[in-house]
């Protein structure tokens, strides 16, 4: 299946980075978070990508145009550095379509803008470019294929740092507890769509607002509740967590390396 990735966000809560680079290019370890998302999909055989670009699209284009395989793979150097023989590669079998979908476009508008690049696809995958997971993707896709849904997304529990507060009308708090485990679920991305999704999107709409409500009314929207690893990179604290997991050698989303462990 083709994979559409939304790469147009401003990343305002990562201002130290987003002034210079778009949010998908903020690094986790030695590669941008976008690369980690793409490596995840590629490990399950989904290597045809459509990048819906926006803010600082040129930075993403230049990264791939000047991609250096040696940064993340073993190699043999000889002849005083004049000969480099790669022992492994990252993106040799990837096909990437770069589409500038506008700086201020909504997610729904970005999806419609890349529709022509999905011609002939009965089903396709779609995602934000800054959330990481160890979701067993093959089983997730099979679940969607067997359903009658037009769209499916991952439902995840909110990060541990948030707390749910209940208070009376007088403002006096009666309960406060971690959001995780409270029964609250949020949209974690990792969408799976049938081509009919475009029948539910009208001009200028945000994907998870009007189109998803139409799908709900038609009973064509499904979700998969996942309690395994899922983490966003919305804040600097989120980035630190992902960096720490990567540097420790125990990054759960690094499913492409499981056969090497």
Q: Determine the pLDDT at residue 62.
A: 94
Give the pLDDT confidence of 49-83 residue by residue, as tens digits: 999 999 899 999 999 999 888 887 788 988 888 88
Q: Does 152 or 70 have the greater pLDDT score?
A: 152
pLDDT, tens digit (0-9, with 9 covering 90-100), for 223-237: 999 999 999 988 888
Split at pLDDT 50, 70, 90, the class of 252 is very high
Mean pLDDT of 29-57: 94
**pLDDT exceeds 50 at position 260:** no
Q: What is the pLDDT of residues 237-248, one digit of tens each?
A: 889 999 999 999
Q: Which of 37-41, 45-49, 156-160, 241-245 has the lowest mean pLDDT?
A: 156-160
Residue 261: pLDDT band with limits 50, 70, 90: very low
Q: Of residues 100 and 70, which shows the higher confidence score?
A: 100
Average pLDDT of span 1-30: 80
Residue 17 confidence (pLDDT) above 70: no
Mean pLDDT of 104-122: 94
Please, what is the average pLDDT of the chain? 89
Q: What is the CATH number of domain 2-158+185-260?
A: 3.90.550.10
| 182 vs 1 pLDDT, higher one | 1
Higher-pLDDT residue of 259 and 57 is 57
Q: 142 or 77, which is more confident?
A: 142
Give CA–CA dist 139/186, Å, rounded.
21
The whole-number average pLDDT for the span 113-117 is 95
Residue 53 phi/psi, 5-degree rounding, is -90, 160
The Cα 162–Cα 230 span in angstroms is 15
């Amino acid at each position: 299946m083709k994979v559409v990735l939304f790469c147009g966000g401003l990343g305002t809560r990562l201002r130290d980075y987003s002034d210079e680079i778009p949010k998908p290019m903020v690094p986790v370890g030695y590669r941008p978070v976008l690369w980690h998302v793409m490596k995840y999909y590629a490990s399950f055989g989904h290597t045809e990508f459509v990048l819906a670009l926006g803010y600082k699209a040129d930075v993403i284009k230049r990264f791939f145009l000047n991609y250096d395989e040696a940064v993340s793979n073993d190699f043999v150097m000889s002849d005083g550095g004049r000969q480099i023989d790669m022992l492994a590669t990252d993106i040799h079998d990837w096909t990437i379509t770069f589409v500038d979908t506008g700086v201020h476009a909504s997610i729904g508008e970005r999806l419609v803008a890349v529709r022509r690049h999905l011609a002939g696809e009965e089903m396709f995958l779609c995602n934000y470019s800054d959330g990481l997971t160890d979701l067993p993707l093959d089983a997730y896709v099979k679940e969607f294929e067997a359903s009658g849904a037009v769209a499916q997304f991952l439902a995840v529990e909110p990060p541990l740092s948030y707390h749910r507060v209940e208070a009376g009308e007088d403002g006096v708090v009666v309960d406060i507890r971690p959001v995780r485990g409270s029964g609250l679920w949020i949209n974690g991305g990792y969408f799976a769509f049938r081509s009919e999704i475009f029948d539910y999107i009208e001009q200028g709409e945000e994907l998870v607002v009007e189109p998803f409500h139409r799908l709900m009314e038609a009973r064509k929207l499904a979700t998969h509740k996942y309690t395994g690893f899922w983490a966003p990179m919305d804040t600097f604290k989120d980035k630190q967590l992902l960096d720490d997991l990567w540097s420790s050698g125990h990054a759960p989303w690094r499913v492409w390396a499981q056969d090497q462990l």
